[in-house]
A and B are shown apart, each in its own frame.
Chain A
Amino acid sequence: MIENASKEGSASSADLPLGTTPAFARMHKWLKRGLFVCLFGLVIEGALTVPVIAVWYGWPTLSLTEICSELMKVRYSDDTLECTQPYPLSGPPFGGAPEAAGQQTAKDQWGIQPVPQYPHVGFRELVRIHNERQAANKP
């Protein structure tokens, strides 16, 4: 029985990493693989987050400030809003008022569980929205 059990463990304790007993050898092997996947995943997605999101929302056609402003217009359903850049250093959390303080234009279905009513924004759709507004505003 004992021999069988050690065979099932598939490795003698001499081959195992320090601290790993035969009974848990397989589990530790899979946990190690999982940790490597997490490590590579965190690093790769972490590095890609900023560039991919910037491109998805219209950079380099739109500048970061323009993307910021376009998103603000969507968020508060108000085409007159612009991102104030640079924002005063005395802003939140250092005591000043936040950029969207007192806004009244956001469309929400208010209740105990609010439901936002802003429209869905697709891949690089902000570029089209931005261009259309600029064309409409030209004299």
Chain B
Amino acid sequence: MVSLTLDAHQDESRRAQREADRWLIAGTILMGTLVLGPVGLPVFCRGVYLLRRAQQVGLSVRPMMVTLIGYVVILDAAINSIGWGLDVFANHALITRTIFTAWGNLMDGGYFWHYNELWIGGAGAPGEKAWIIVCIVVVFPMRIAAAIGLLQMKRWGHQWTIVTCWFGVISWMGYILNMTMYADVRYAGVALPVIGWWLYNIFYITPFLAIPYLHTVNREIFSD
């Protein structure tokens, strides 16, 4: 009898988790496109609601924090990759030349100063292109892969999310230090220098929020 009840509980938990994940994944894919974000957000929130309800009725579903970290890491990496992918591979498209250079003129001269003069095109501020390429080719794909493992509650997912969140810290620190070294290029003649950049980019600090959780959560909840 007991084993039947346990089985039923497990089946019900799995069903609830899968249903919530369908909404969460669809929402994240839509939000990851950037322009469809307002459509994706309610879809994602519906997934959060379903997950929360399952937790409240006592089902064994993934903790909300693990869910949030996993999906926000994927979203953060996807949005960044779209922007920087355009700068590398579509730097002569009208939307890139217009919106990127306008954004650069507004907040970060690295995307305005001598834009599309470098042989590879796109942003030409000292060091910028190296950070862009290492992030979209190495950091973000690894962060997305690790976050998928985390969402599956795998031990390697937990470990690699920790590793790649530390990548994120290095990227943040290195990027900001590089900007600071060439602060004139980045901020001279810009409409909203420094504070504008921080207000816009502060929402990308997810690694700093994920690391304390990942190091203090009981790691026995992740399985091989």
A residues at B contact (CB < 8 Å) = 17-21, 24, 27-28, 31-32, 34-47, 49-50, 53-54, 56-57, 64-65, 67-68, 71-72, 74-75, 83, 85-87, 91-93, 98-101, 103, 106, 113-123
For chain B, give the interface size range. 35 or more
Stretch at the interface among B1-9, B72-80, B136-144, B163-171: B72-80
B177 sits at the interface (CB 8 A): no
Q: Would A115 and B184 count as touching, CB distance under 8 A?
A: yes
A43 contact from B40, B91, B102, Cβ within 8 A: B40
Q: Would A92 and B121 count as touching, CB distance under 8 A?
A: yes
Can you identify 29 A-B contacts, CB atoms within 8 angstroms?
A: A17-B55, A19-B217, A35-B72, A35-B206, A38-B203, A42-B75, A42-B76, A42-B79, A43-B31, A56-B102, A57-B102, A67-B98, A68-B94, A68-B97, A71-B98, A75-B112, A85-B94, A87-B97, A92-B118, A106-B114, A113-B182, A114-B184, A115-B185, A116-B109, A116-B113, A116-B189, A117-B188, A120-B191, A121-B191
Q: Do A24 and B114 contact each other (CB < 8 Å), given the known contacts A47-B35, A50-B35?
A: no
Q: Would B34 and A35 count as touching, CB distance under 8 A?
A: no
B106 sits at the interface (CB 8 A): yes
Q: Would B102 and A49 count as touching, CB distance under 8 A?
A: no
Once bound together, how far apart are the Cα atoms of A83 and B209, in whole Å? 42
Q: Would A71 and B102 count as touching, CB distance under 8 A?
A: yes
Known: A38-B206, A65-B98. 7 other contacts (CB 8 A): A42-B75, A45-B200, A57-B102, A72-B101, A100-B117, A113-B182, A116-B185
